[in-house]
Amino acid sequence: MSFDDRRRNVRSLLFFLVALLGTVVLTFAGSFAAAADRDVAQAPRYTPTALDQQLPPAPDARPGPRVALTFDDGPSAQLTPYVLDVLAAKRVRATFFLQGENAERYPDLVRRVQAEGHVVGNHAWQHAWFPDLSAEEAESEIARTNDLLTELTGVRPTLFRYPFGQPSPGGDAALARLGMTGGVHWKWTSDKEGDFQCPGPDAMVDFVVTEAVDQAMLLLHDANDAISCSPDQLQYLPRAIDELRARGFTFGVVAPSPVPSALNGGSLAAVVP
The residue (of 90 and 127) whose beta carbon lies closer to Zn ion is: 127
* Among residues 58, 66, 71, 72, the one that binds Zn ion under rule CB under 5 A: 72
Question: At 109, which helix (H) or strand (E)?
Answer: helix 107-115
What does the alpha-carbon distance between residue 211 and residue 218 come to, in Å, rounded to a whole number?
A: 7
The residue (of 73 and 211) whose beta carbon lies closer to Zn ion is: 73
What does the alpha-carbon distance between residue 143 and residue 151 come to, in Å, rounded to a whole number?
A: 12
Q: Smallest gap, in angstroms, from Cβ of residue 134 to Zn ion?
A: 21
- 21 burial level (CB within 10 Å; 0-12, 13-18, 19+): exposed
Q: Smallest gap, in angstroms, from Cβ of residue 209 to Zn ion?
A: 22
Question: Do 160 and 134 form a contact (C-beta atoms < 8 A)?
Answer: no
- Tell me the C-alpha to C-alpha distance, in Å, between residue 247 and each of 64, 104, 212, 216, 240: 10, 38, 10, 15, 11
Which part of the chain contacts Zn ion (CB under 5 A), choosing from 14-22, 155-163, 181-189, 234-242? 155-163
Q: Smallest gap, in angstroms, from Cβ of residue 242 to Zn ion?
A: 26
Q: Are strands 159-160 and 181-182 parallel, antiparallel or unpaired?
A: parallel
Q: How many residues in the chain?
A: 273
Which part of the chain contacts Zn ion (CB under 5 A), choosing from 156-164, 171-179, 190-198, 245-253? 156-164
Which positions from 51 through 70 interact with Zn ion, judged by CB under 5 A? none
Q: Is 221 a catalytic residue?
A: yes
Q: Smallest gap, in angstroms, from Cβ of residue 221 to Zn ion?
A: 7
* Among residues 60, 73, 139, 195, the one that binds Zn ion under rule CB under 5 A: 73
Active centre residues (catalytic): 72, 221
Binding site for Zn ion (CB under 5 A): 72-73, 163
